[in-house]
Chain A
Amino acid sequence: MEIINNFGLDPLLLGAQIVNFLIIFYVLKRFLYKPVLGILKKREDTIKEGLRQAEDGKKLFEEAQNKEKEILTRAQNQAQTILEEAKIQTDELAKQIEQKAQKNASDIINSATEKINQEREIAEKKLSEYVSRLAVELLEKSASELFDAKDQKQLIKIATDKFKKLN
């Protein structure tokens, strides 16, 4: 008891200090630790979410880049194919046009040649008729002076027949 008195131990004071600490404990827990730990957790979550979003964004960006490359490669391949097809088609078309032109030219030449031949034949025939007629007329004029009427007729008849045979 003397020791207790020397140290000033008092049940009321002891109780008061216990109650005092318990109140302070409650105040600290309710108004300091809870909000501060809450805000720390919230910030941690925000940072984690931000990092996650950044990671997702990075993934999306990489995916977009890959997709872009894929699309470009596909487009290049398609363009190459189209070009090749176009070239083949152009070559074929050019060939067809050339063939057609050649055929047309050939037809035109043939047609012209035929026409020329026809014209020539007609001209030759007309010329022959004309020459024959001239010859007959010349013969008639020459024979009138050299032969009598009977011989003239016979001569002209022979000449006319020969011209007819020639024509």
Chain B
Amino acid sequence: MHSSFAAESVVQIGIFKVTNALINALFVDIIIIAICYLVAKNIKLIPGYLQNATELIIHSFYEMTESVAQEKAKIIFPFFMSFFIFILLSNWTALLPGVTSIGFFKDHELVPLMRGATSDLNTTLGLALVSIAATHIMSIRAVGVKDYLSRYISLNPINLFIGILEIISEITKVISLSFRLFGNIFAGEIVLFTVSGIFAFLFPIPFLTLEIIVGLVQALVFSMLTMAFMAILTTPHHQPDHA
């Protein structure tokens, strides 16, 4: 069983290491594509059970986005929802039986075939970078290059100082988003591993329930922070924001 920060390599293709976290991400992709296929194939004006549930979730999240971002909800919502779905499924699939326990032995140590994608810093950092990059691209499109740059660069010394702080805050956003998610999920996996090691039956169930909640909360935190950052940065610099 793994206990290292780094995801274990399962297969190596040239210089590219296919890690168990990447395999989990691909597994999540398959689930998402399957859901999309099933929903898109059978979409009707009078919905079935799956479409109803999908509509309920999407509509609730869209309304949540509208309440924060108002008229920008249409462009922010796809990011907000995609981050939520991907992170939630990554977190929860890591809790499935066998995900961190089925694998192969390498140097007398079990290398699981799958490990929670979000318990690998490459995934969480990638997600954070996409989130911040999308936020800044959206900001430039919404407020224009001049207003966007005026947030960070100014001839006024006080505003210039604030601008420098803003740049630092943008860097810390990436670090905080990636490490918060990674830390919570990785710590959860370690807790479950330890607890299961103490007593494998019934005893881990409360911790498993806790991890289910943590998985949901972390997915919400990441996606809602992204939404808030997007709502703030797409508001012109000198106007009060809605977030």
Contacts and interface: CB of A to CB of B under 8 A. Distances in A.
A33 B43 contact: no
B129 interface: yes
A24 B86 CA distance: 8
Nearest to A15: B126
A14 B126 contact: yes
Contacts of A16: 16, 22, 122
Contact of B81 (A7, A21, A28, A35): A28
A5 to B, nearest CB: 8
Contact of A18 (B6, B79, B129): B129
Contact of B130 (A22, A33, A46): A22
Nearest to A17: B126
B50 to A, nearest CB: 11
Interface string B1-44: 00011110000000111010010011011001101110110011
Given A16-B22, A24-B82, A36 B6 contact: no
A87 B121 CA distance: 104
B19 A35 contact: no
Interface string A29-42: 10111011101101
A13 B19 contact: yes
Interface residues of A, number: 33
Contact of B5 (A7, A22, A36): A7
Contact of B58 (A17, A23, A25, A33): A33
Q: Bin the interface of chain B by size.
A: 35 or more
A35 B126 contact: no
B120 A8 contact: yes
Contact of A32 (B47, B58, B122): B58
A35 B85 CA distance: 17
B40 A32 contact: yes
A8 B6 CA distance: 4
Contact of A8 (B58, B121, B129): B121
A39 B130 contact: no
Contacts of A9: 121-122, 125
Contacts of A27: 32-33, 36
B241 to A, nearest CB: 24
A8 B7 contact: yes
A43 interface: yes
Given A17-B127, A36-B55, A40-B55, 4 more contacts: A14-B129, A28-B85, A32-B36, A32-B39
Lowest 6 CB-CB distances: which A-B pairs, in order?
A8-B6, A17-B126, A31-B36, A13-B122, A18-B126, A7-B121
